[in-house]
Structure formats: structure tokens, C-alpha cells
A = this chain, B = another copy of it.
Amino acid sequence: MDIAALRNAHPEHWDMATAIRVLTLDAVAAANSGHSGMPMGMADVATVLFTKHMKFDAAAPNWIDRDRFILSAGHGSMLVYSLLHLTGYEQFPIEELKNFRQLGARTAGHPENFLAQGIETTTGPLGQGIANSVGFAMAEEMLRARYGKRVFDHHTYVIAGDGCLMEGVSQEAIGLAGRHQLSKLIVFWDNNSITIDGKVDLADRTDQVMRFKASGWHVQEIDGHDPEAIDAAITAAKGSKKPSMIACKTHIAIGSSAQDTSKGHGALTDPKLIEDTRQVYGWTAPAFEIPGEIKSKWEEAGRRGAEARFAWEERFSSVSERRQGEIHRIMAGEAPKKLSSVIRALKKQVSESAPKVATRKSSEMVLEVVNPIMPETVGGSADLTGSNNTKTGDLGVFDIDNRAGRFVHWGIREHGMAAAMNGMALHGGVRPYSGTFMCFTDYARPAMRLSALMKQPVVYVMTHDSIGLGEDGPTHQPVEHVAMLRATPNMLVFRPADTVETAEAWEIALTQQDTPSVLSLTRQNVATVRKEHKTKNMVAQGAYVLADAEGKRQAILMATGSEVEIAMAARDLLQAEGIGTRVVSMPCWELFEAQDDAVRRRVLPAGPVRVAVEAGVRMGWDRWLCGERGREAKAGFVGMDSFGASAPAEVLYEHFGITAEAVAAKVKSLL
């Protein structure tokens, strides 16, 4: 690489870009870990983007009409930290960079959205950023359609690497963006031909240009070190009516002895290598010091968007007060005040009418009353719309000619759907929920974990949540999935028993600001067990006494979802034999765990035999069966200890012994 030629051709650009490179080298060396090569290679693209195109104001990181920048190749985190420092984000003084990858620093190994302003999403697991970006761009389209260009009119920029493009989820994202002609989405592919194992060619020879074109993208190929080419390509991309991919041929770890090698992908920490590289760059300032002139040019870039922001604020102030209030509310992720009364009215109605319906249908009943009062909800399904019951009458379908549509046909793309929902939630102004079969949480899992880690209140509507789905068989029958979700930190897992509990679960899910929710819903009909109307949201307690023992309390049955009905029937059998039996419905373990000891003890007092019934694996139930702090309790479990089978649902419940009779027998065997 003829670095001198690059420098001479565009000296000012060179200096600014190289500030990113040396900060990266310095921070990685200080941490003695990290990834140097990518920020070094993509510094030119990032510099042109941030100094000439990105609409942002470092002084107002949360400006809602800013362009979004997503580093999908998250291991190159020093790229974004350098940019945030250089452009003058308050939260990124040089000390943060010196503390790269240290406990408590905002400069984590991979960018974490919850640690600092200016980091739009958490990346690192590859492919997530590009898939998030589809949600960002969709949210922008939807909000622009609803509130007009004067409020929402911005781009989403992404830097993706070879790893992002090899992950399958990228195909789901590419397909979605192409299908919906998300023209304000612009992806830079860091085409450096290197991965950890060696040359990309070792594992992939896909013609990425042809691949993106196949899905309807506008594609350009440029030298990723030529600032003029970069500038022109971004301008052209902005003018396209399709999503844009700019293939940037770059040299990873440019200018170092590790350039164009897999070594360059990782942490360059050898002092001599670093010194030599600085020399090649013609950079003489000490570590972590940026010459004043260069720093001020960067800070100027950081202020470049101020004018646009002022203009926007003026425009925004001309929006009606009601609309301003609504926009503030939805961007803050606050539920409308009306929500609780609407939920309460539905609860009252269904406890009286006591319908026998599948809880997926219950969920639809809730959405029918919620969607009209929450313009920010956006629903969808991974090609199971009729089964997931996520589409209500008034939503309209999001499409090229209907950007105001609030229902998304995601296609058979559970992973892309979940990642795009994360993007929508991160963008703000949209509260996404979508569905698939519970068993296919497997496909969505990497993005679902990120909802939790990123503290995004996405709602997953997972129907067909047990062997109760019947004939489709074990590939479609979750047995371990509810346990898996419960094992995940910061995730509310609801398994409601009937329409009342489903309404309560939805109310909680829709008022979350930092926590995703999963609704585990049945395919099969279940009885209404909450026939007495209570204003109070009982699901909010996590677990509660649904029916108490008559006479001496000898047994406590714990159950969730479709098995609450079974527990109630078992109680009837036991009470008929004079065995006083309490039934505890446990729709949300996480919320129950958050209760005071006293509440938990009131619901699950020591002494009686405890039997849990759930059409899933036992994993986790021992927490409740043996009593907290190991208090003695004779205990048993009725559920699954294997995969399911293909047969009608009733046959399977009988076959696997999940019946009222089996529960009653288990209790009696323990007494």
C-alpha cells in the first residue's frame, strides 16, 4: 500500500482518518486486547460519512431525526468510539478510550447501546447490525408516513463485514430491505477479504454484488480508501430508490505489517509494530493525543448538523401540540394513559362471558382493543399470520405504497424478524410485536437474547406453545423453550392461562421500557379460569392463588398456561376426596421472583405437598417445588421429559400423562 500517495492525495482527509487509526492502535494496545484492523481499514469511509454526510449533532445525541449509524461489524468498536470522541460527544472524553475494555467504561469490547449515547445498537454477534438496520429503516418509513418529512426524514447507515454477510440472518435482512425498497438504508461492506481463519476465500466465494442485486439492491463498488469515490458513492446511494450496498475494497490493518492478514483482524499490540505503523502514517503525536488542528476539524464535523437540528426544531414546534405530545410519548416508549382502562374493560367482559378460546385468540382480542389506542404498535408474523393472530383489522399492511401500514409480513424469517424488531425498538417511536411458533424461538434466539441485553421492550408472540399443537409433531412442539427463555436474564416470560391473564400479560408487556416480553400462547382452546373480575392485574404479581383449598390445605398445585385448567380439574378430583387443594397460577416467574419474601410465602406457604404441572421440561421448577431456601416440601412434577410426538393434541396429553388424573395421583402418592 502506498500510504504516502494516499496522504498526499488528500492530506486533510488523511489526517482526520488517521486520527481514528491511531486512537484504535493506542486503545487496543492499552487494553492489550481488541480488534485493530477493521477501524484502520474503514477509517476513510467513516471519515467521509461523518464529515460530509451523516446528519447528527454531537451536542444532541438523542435528536430524534438524526441519521443512525450502525457498526454491524461490532468487533471494530474502536471505530465508533473514536468517532464519538473525535466529534465531541460529551460521554466520550479521551479517558474513556484509555479505559477501552475495562470494567465500568463506556468503551466495552463491543459497542453496547445501553452504555452510552451515540451507540445505536449492540453488535458483536455478527449479522445483527445489518438485520437491525432493516427495522431502523422501516421505523423511519412508518413514522415519516405518519408524521411527515418535517419530523422524520433520516438515513440509516451500516458498516458490515464479511462475517455479517456470511451469517444467514444477513440474507433475511437483504431480502426484506430489497422487498420493501428501503431506500434510506445504506450499507457499506468492508470488503477486506480477511476473516479470523484467513482469507474469506477459504470459506466463501459468493459474488456479493450479484447477491445483493438479486434482492433488488442498488450496488456500487469502490476503493474504500479513496475519499472522493466514497463521497460520490454515498451521494449516489442517497439518490437511489432502492436500498444501497457500497462494496468498499479496503485493506485491513492498513499501513501496518499485519495489513491484509488475519493477524491484522485481531489485537495489534506489539509496540514496534505500532511505532512502525505510526511512522508509516507520518503520525508523530504521542499516544491518545490528537493534534489540535485535527481535533478541531473533527469537532467541527460534530457540530455540522447543529443547523439542521435547529431547523428541525423549528419545524417540530409548528407541529400541533397534540402530535408533539404523542411523538414525545412514543419516542420515550411510554404507554398511553388509556391502556389500563381498555385492558380492564376487556377483562371484565371476558370474565363474564368466559369464552373457551385458544390464548393466541385471546391475544388477538387484546390487540383488537390495544392497537386502536396505540399508534406506535407494529405487528407482524413470520408467515404465520393466521396462526399467530397478530393482525388486527385496523393495522394495514406495511408496503412500498403503504408506508403507514402497521403490519409486516416478515416472510419465513424468524431471525430477521426479531433482529428488525430490535432495530425498530432502538429507533424509537415504534413498539414492535410479532409472532411465530414457540418452537421457532430457536431461529430467533440470537436476536431475542439481544432484545434482553439491549433492554428493548420488544414483544414476542409465540403461539403453539406445547404438545398441544398436535399433529405437526416434535419438530414443532416446544418442550424446552419456555425454560430457555426463563433462563435468559432481563426477559419476561408470560404463559397466561386464559384471556384475562393474556390481557394482563399484554398490559405489562406494553408498559415495559427496558425489558422484552415473550407471550407463550396455546394453539388449542382453553377454558376461562378467571371468572371473577378483578381490577388488579394479578399477572403483575407473577403468581397468585387462583383457587384456595377448601378445608385443611394439604396440597398446592402450581401451573401455567394451558395446564392451569388441568390443575383446576385435578383440584376438583382431590377436593372430592377431601384433600384440600390450592391452585396457584404462575404466569410469570420473573415477576414472582421480584416480589417480597412475604408475598411469595403467602402464595406458596411451607407444609403442603407441591405438584407443578406444565407441558414442558422440569428444568427450573425445582426452585418452586422444593421451596425457597431449601425449605422442606414434598414435591412432584407432571410434564415432559422427552420430545413430543405427532398425534392429535388430546391423544398426546393422555400419552404423556399430563392430565388431571395424573396430577391428582401424583399428589396422593406424595401425601
Is B471's CB under 8 angstroms from A34's CB? Answer: yes
**Contact A74 to B453, CB < 8 A, known contacts A172-B168, A385-B197, A626-B626:** no
Q: Measured between C-beta atoms, what is the minimum distance from A166 to chain B in Å?
A: 4
Q: Within A602-621, which residues are at the interface with B (CB < 8 Å)? A: 610, 617-620
Q: Which of A69-125 contact B (CB under 8 A)?
A: 74, 101-105, 108-110, 112, 122-125
- Whether B626 lies near A630 (C-beta < 8 A) is yes
**Within the complex, what minimum Cβ distance (angstroms) separates A642 from chain B?**
5
Q: Using Cβ atoms and an 8 Å threshold, which residues of chain B touch A629?
A: 634-635
A168 near B168 with CB under 8 A, answer yes
Instruction: Give chain B residues whose Cβ lies under 8 Å from the Cβ of A410.
Output: 203
Residues of B within 8 Å of A445, CB to CB, are: 442-443, 445
A203 to B216, CA, bound (A): 13
Of residues 177 through 201 on chain A, the ones whose CB sits less than 8 Å from some CB of chain B are 178-179, 195-198
A278-286, A481-489, A553-561: which lies at the B interface?
A481-489
At the interface, yes or no: A162 with Cβ under 8 Å from chain B? yes
Q: Are B216 and A409 in contact (CB under 8 A)?
A: no
Measured as residues with beta carbon below 8 angstroms from the partner, the interface class of chain A is 35 or more
Q: Does A527 contact B (CB under 8 A)?
A: no
A103 — nearest CB in chain B belongs to which residue?
A: B647
Which of A213, A412, A617 is packed against the most chain B CB atoms within 10 Å? A412
CA distance in complex: A386, B33 (Å): 16
The reply to whether B110 and A475 form a contact with Cβ atoms under 8 Å apart is yes
Q: Which of B207, B409, B484 contacts A480 (CB 8 A)?
A: B484
A400-432 vs B, CB cutoff 8 Å, 1 = contact: the mask equals: 000000000111110110000000000000000
**CA–CA, A108 and B486, complex, Å:** 30
With contacts A122-B475, A170-B168, A203-B411 taken as known, whether A487 is within 8 angstroms of B484 at the C-beta atoms is yes
Contacting residues, chain B, for A474 (C-beta < 8 A): 108, 112, 453
Of all chain B residues, the one with the shortest Cβ separation from A163 is: B412
Of the listed residues A204, A384, A439, A440, the one surrounded by the most CB atoms of chain B closer than 10 A to its CB is A204
Q: With A and B bound together, what is the CA distance between A202 and B109 in angstroms?
A: 39
Query: Do the beta carbons of B409 and A197 come within 8 Å of each other?
Result: yes
* Choice from B450, B471, B479, B488 contacting A33 with Cβ under 8 Å: B471
Are B635 and A632 interface neighbours, CB within 8 A? no
User: Which of B415, B483, B620 contacts A168, CB < 8 Å?
Assistant: B415
Instruction: From B209, B473, B630, give the contact of A632 (CB < 8 A).
Output: B630
Please state if B215 and A211 are interface contacts (CB–CB under 8 Å).
yes
**Which residues of chain B come closer than 8 Å to A386, judged between CB atoms?**
196-197
Q: Are B206 and A473 in contact (CB under 8 A)?
A: no
Interface string of A365-405 (1 = CB under 8 A from B): 00000000000000001011111000000000000000000
A543 contacts the other chain (Cβ, under 8 Å)?
A: no
The answer, yes or no, to whether A446 is at the interface (CB within 8 Å) is yes
Q: In the docked arrangement, what's the CA distance between A415 and B446, Å?
A: 11
Tell me whether A206 and B214 are in contact (CB under 8 A): yes
- A643 in contact (CB, < 8 A): yes
Contacts A172-B168, A442-B445, A443-B167: A617 and B487 contacting too (C-beta < 8 A)? yes
Question: Given A110-B473, A487-B487, A489-B643 in contact, is the A103-B655 Cβ separation under 8 Å?
Answer: yes
Residues of chain B with a CB closer than 8 A to A632's CB: 630-632
Report the nearest B residue to A408, measured CB to CB: B203
Q: Is the CB of B110 within 8 A of A646?
A: yes
Q: Which of A33, A439, A480 has the most CB of B within 10 A?
A: A480
In the complex, what residue of chain B is closest to A201 when comparing beta carbons? B179
Closest-CB distance, A384 to chain B (whole angstroms): 6
Contact of A476 among B109, B174, B381, B622 (CB under 8 A): B109
A383 and B171 contacting across the interface, CB-CB below 8 Å: no
In the docked arrangement, what's the CA distance between A214 and B204, Å? 11
The reply to whether the CB of A627 lies closer than 8 angstroms to some CB of chain B is: yes
- A206-242 CB mask vs B (1 if < 8 Å, else 0) is 1111110111100000000000000000000000000
Interface contact B166-A413, CB-CB below 8 Å: yes
- Nearest B residue to A449 by beta-carbon distance? B442
In the complex the two chains form, is A195's CB within 8 Å of B439's CB?
A: no
Give, as a whole number of angstroms, the nearest-CB distance from A623 to chain B: 4
Q: Tell whether A294 is near chain B: CB-to-CB under 8 Å.
A: no
For A126, the chain B residues whose CB sits under 8 A away are 412
Residue contact A197 to B381, C-beta cutoff 8 Å:
yes
Q: How far is the CB of A13 from chain B (nearest CB, A)?
A: 31
* Cβ of A521 under 8 Å from chain B: no
A210, A489, A626 pick with most chain B CB within 10 angstroms: A626
From B203, B484, B640, contact of A179 by CB (8 A): B203
How many angstroms between the C-alpha atoms of A215 and B205 in the bound complex?
6
Contact of A646 among B101, B381, B450, B473 (CB under 8 A): B101
Q: Does A39 contact B (CB under 8 A)?
A: no
Interface residues of A in 641-666 (CB under 8 A from B): 641-643, 645-648, 651-652, 655
A625 at the interface (CB under 8 A from B): yes
Contact of A33 with B196 in the complex, beta carbons under 8 Å: no
Q: Does A31 contact B (CB under 8 A)?
A: yes
Q: Given A411-B204, A446-B443, A475-B450, is A163 in contact with B643 using a C-beta cutoff of 8 Å?
A: no
Interface contact A645-B103, CB-CB below 8 Å: yes
A490 and B642 within 8 A (CB):
yes
A472 interfacial by beta-carbon distance below 8 Å? yes
Contacts of A179 in B (CB 8 A): 203-206
**Contacting pair B415 A203 (CB below 8 A):** no
15 other contacts beyond A34-B471, A210-B211, A210-B214, with CB at 8 A cut-off? Answer: A31-B471, A102-B648, A109-B471, A112-B474, A124-B476, A125-B439, A178-B205, A203-B383, A442-B449, A452-B643, A480-B489, A483-B483, A629-B634, A630-B635, A632-B632
Q: 29 pairs across A/B with beta carbons < 8 Å?
A: A33-B471, A103-B647, A124-B475, A166-B383, A167-B172, A167-B413, A168-B415, A175-B204, A179-B204, A196-B386, A196-B387, A197-B386, A203-B383, A210-B214, A214-B214, A442-B445, A442-B446, A442-B449, A445-B445, A480-B488, A487-B620, A489-B617, A490-B643, A618-B623, A619-B619, A619-B620, A622-B622, A626-B627, A630-B634
